[in-house]
């Protein structure tokens, strides 16, 4: 697992999105919210994407770009975004390389069964530096917490 810490350089990445590739270097001098979620079109992930989308104008006003990342394909992301009228970019990481680089590929447990999965986590990055990290995110109220942190930068 990668050791991403607040105050340290954010791990480099390149993700495919419906709008074209997204790289950490694209956000030099800017603010980026990178959030990792398990799967498109599932209840918690849909709610999280809708919450970030509802606040998208405020994130933009505060100078921040929001990108959600899962292992789903760009095509699946496009269908998900269209179905729920999402206003955030969605990055495809089918191999999980970026997810691992950010330490968000973790061992999970369900009904006493151990398996590997995506830790719902969010990284607030400003000019390439990780400013704040949220792990084991609970969806209700999270997008607002992140927006508040962006505004406090």
Kindly report the number of other CB atoms within 10 A of residue 136's CB atom: 8
Cα 112 to Cα 108, 118, 125, 138, 151: the distances in Å are 10, 17, 35, 21, 40
Q: Distance (Å, rounded) from C-alpha 64 to C-alpha 57? A: 10
Catalytic-labelled residue, pool 45, 49, 56, 81? 45
Q: Is 45 marked active-site?
A: yes
Token pair of 15, please? Answer: 């993700």
By annotation, the residues acting in catalysis are 45
């Amino acid at each position: 697992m990668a050791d991403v810490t607040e105050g340290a350089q954010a791990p480099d990445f390149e993700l495919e999105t419906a709008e074209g590739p997204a790289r950490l270097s694209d956000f030099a001098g800017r603010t980026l919210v990178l959030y990792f979620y398990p799967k498109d079109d599932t209840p918690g992930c849909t709610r999280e994407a809708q919450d970030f989308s509802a606040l998208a104008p405020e994130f933009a006003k505060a100078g921040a770009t929001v990108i959600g990342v899962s292992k789903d394909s760009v095509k699946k992301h496009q269908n998900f975004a269209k179905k729920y009228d999402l206003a955030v970019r969605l990055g495809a990481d089918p191999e999980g390389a970026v997810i691992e680089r950010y330490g968000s590929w973790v061992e999970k447990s369900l009904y006493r069964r151990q398996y590997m999965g995506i830790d719902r986590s969010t990284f607030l990055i400003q000019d390439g530096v990780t400013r704040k990290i949220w792990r084991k995110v609970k969806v209700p109220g999270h997008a607002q917490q992140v927006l508040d942190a962006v505004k406090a930068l």
